[in-house]
Chains A and B, each alone.
Chain A
Amino acid sequence: MSMQERELPPLLDGFNAIIRRDLMLAWKRPGDILNPLFFFAMVASLFPLAVGPSPEQLILNGPGVVWVAALLATLLSLNSLFLSDFEDGSLDQIILSPHPLPLLGLGKAAAHWLLNGLPLVLLSPVIAITYRMPAEVIGVMMLTLALGTVSLSLLGSIGAALTVGLSRGTALLSLLILPLAMPILIFGARTVSLAAEGDPVSAGIYFLAAYCMMALTLAPFATAAALKISNE
């Protein structure tokens, strides 16, 4: 066994390894991804049946409903972000790897977005058609959802890390994340409404992009600190 002086491994190795493993796990356990996605589709497509089919009403409510459904579906999937790693001891091994923990937390959030946020964004046009949204509005909606779900995955990773050691953390997780998610919901839904009314949308999109950047820079550090506390 070699005992030579050891160097630190390349910075992105751990990040990539986590994403690859989580994608592989999701492939073997597809229910974890399909459930929130199914929830999203169900809520968003039941709504028109309940409020009535008039086109004006649909286009009025559509953006808000799609956004609320997306937010709730994301919250639903966040609870399990660190849970199985915590329970089987993988979290210890991940924390003890030679990589910076914020980067590994970022890997978990990235995998979460690829598995939950991205499918949701891709599914959303199908939902939007039931609300009779025109093509250019659908484009804006997908863009806001993409920016919003990235932020939600990142912010959610903080909450999931904080509540992973608690036996009933789901409610607490929602409580922790919702205040941070409010601006995303408000600007996301409003921007799509503005697009539907034919008004300029760039301000809302800039805000969502800025929020996303803020989450991207700050959330990994908060997640790392929270993981350390929860895993004691």
Chain B
Amino acid sequence: MSEVLLANDLSIVRGERCLFEQLDFALNSGELLLIEGANGTGKTSLLRGIAGLLDFATGHVSWDGEKVLENYQLFRADLVWLSHRVGFKGELNLLENLRFESALRSSAAAEKNAVLERLGLVRLTALPFRYLSAGQQRRVALARMLLANARLWLMDEPYTNLDIAGRSLVADLIEEHLRGGGLCIVASHQPVEIAATTRRVMLA
């Protein structure tokens, strides 16, 4: 079986600097890709490139055997993105924010209550988002990932701001997602302990 996600000869140039070049990797359903490297080696840029927020100088990414560049929309329907900026509106409360997300992705939010329960957000639903702590805001971003029902999770530093319980929750969520046939790409400079087939990309 051929890989679901395939990256060929990727390189990114930011300004005058080449962050990395000739990067190849592949990923199958149920597998985790860890992007490792020190600060400033291009972990976030690589993730943004895969998502299509940033253009690669060379190379391309294929999804289900089709070049992502040629069919961005279908690829985007399959992916969800967690970054250090959570991307919610401070004035709106948690439910209003998530309602916008599900309208944007046209995803049915049937499991919303269960997801909020699991992430410990049930009692925070009426508060404006900006009153939540950084860790709570991260948990709302995790709720978006779960509700999006996407096959590919792109996570940039998923453990940031989370407490110990939150970290193990993230690990559980990723493991469940992979067991369900999903794919996950994690960029982190912290050790990531996930019980799943793991491939690694080391950026230097």
Contact = CB atoms under 8 A, between A and B. Distances in A.
A20 interface: yes
A88 B85 contact: yes
Nearest to A84: B89
Contact of B51 (A94, A96, A100): A96
B73 A13 contact: no
B74 A89 contact: no
B101 interface: yes
B100 interface: yes
Given A9-B106, A16-B103, 15 more contacts: A1-B182, A7-B77, A8-B73, A8-B77, A13-B103, A13-B104, A14-B103, A28-B92, A88-B85, A88-B86, A89-B86, A92-B85, A97-B104, A97-B105, A232-B53
Interface string A66-107: 000000000000000000100111111111111110000000
19 contacts: A1-B146, A3-B180, A6-B78, A7-B77, A8-B73, A10-B106, A17-B104, A21-B100, A29-B91, A87-B85, A88-B87, A89-B83, A89-B86, A96-B51, A96-B53, A96-B81, A98-B73, A99-B104, A232-B53
Interface of B: 48, 51-55, 73-74, 76-81, 83-92, 96, 100-101, 103-106, 144, 146, 149, 151, 176-177, 180-182
Contacts of B83: 89, 92
Interface of A: 1-3, 6-10, 13-14, 16-18, 20-21, 24-25, 28-29, 84, 87-100, 231-232
A6 B55 contact: no
A98 B77 contact: yes
Contacts of A96: 51-53, 76, 79-81
Given A9-B105, A13-B104, A90 B76 contact: no
A2 B91 contact: no
Contacts of B81: 92-93, 96
